[in-house]
Amino acid sequence: MAKIFANATSSFIFLFNVILFSLTLAAAKPEGFSRNLSPKTLGLKREKLSHLHFYFHDIVSGSNPTAVPVARAAMTKNSFSSFGLVTMMDDPLTVKPEISSKLVGRAQGIYASASQSELSFLMALNFVFTEGKYNGSTLSILGRNSVLSGIREMPVVGGSGLFRFARGYAQAKTHDLDFKTGDAIVEYNVYVFHY
């Protein structure tokens, strides 16, 4: 009987030590490179939803283009969709479709023809705002732009400045496309959650 009692006591003590050790590890502060924070720690207040509306001017023609090819595949020249073409842009963003209207920012980044069967771009860009309360803030877009579709939707994957922790989507609608020059004016409606 004493032997059974000793084994039970030993098992109980072992189990107690395992539980105590586990609780100690759970309560210990992590010594790694990350930790959980309250949004208030960074001064973040209530999240809000903003709607931004502007026009994107992609100018590929003339002596001062805002978008220029930087790479192309050997097959690009024979491809209906310009598959393999990579273009760098620094396109103006304005409040109206006219290029002479008020400048509110720039679209800076790249787009690449990513489909062999249709004119469709992989867009990786920042909307860099230069006007009003969003001056100095950016929104980052990464997504698919099927250029000849009526309205295209691309995700907002982040931002900076007043758009820290941004998430949402951008809707693009071609306002004007000159098939001779390749120049385009695109209307954007951007819906973004941010603090």
Sign of CA dihedral 157, 160, 164, 170: negative
Residue 4 structure tokens: 């059974």
Tens digit of each residue's pLDDT (9 = 90 or more) over 1-17: 555 555 555 665 665 55
Tens digit of each residue's pLDDT (9 = 90 or more) over 137-148: 999 999 999 998
Query: For 16-23, what is the mean pLDDT?
Result: 57
Predicted confidence band of residue 30 (pLDDT cuts 50, 70, 90): low
Pairing of strands 48-58, 138-146: unpaired
Predicted confidence band of residue 184 (pLDDT cuts 50, 70, 90): very high
What is the separation of C-alpha 33 from the centre of its chain, rounded to a whole number of angstroms? 25
Query: 125, 166, 169, 119: which is closest to 145 by C-alpha?
Result: 119
Question: Do 44 and 186 meet the contact criterion of CB atoms below 8 Å apart?
Answer: no
Residue 140 structure tokens: 């980052």
Sign of CA dihedral 165, 169, 175, 176: positive
Query: For 31-39, what is the mean pLDDT?
Result: 84
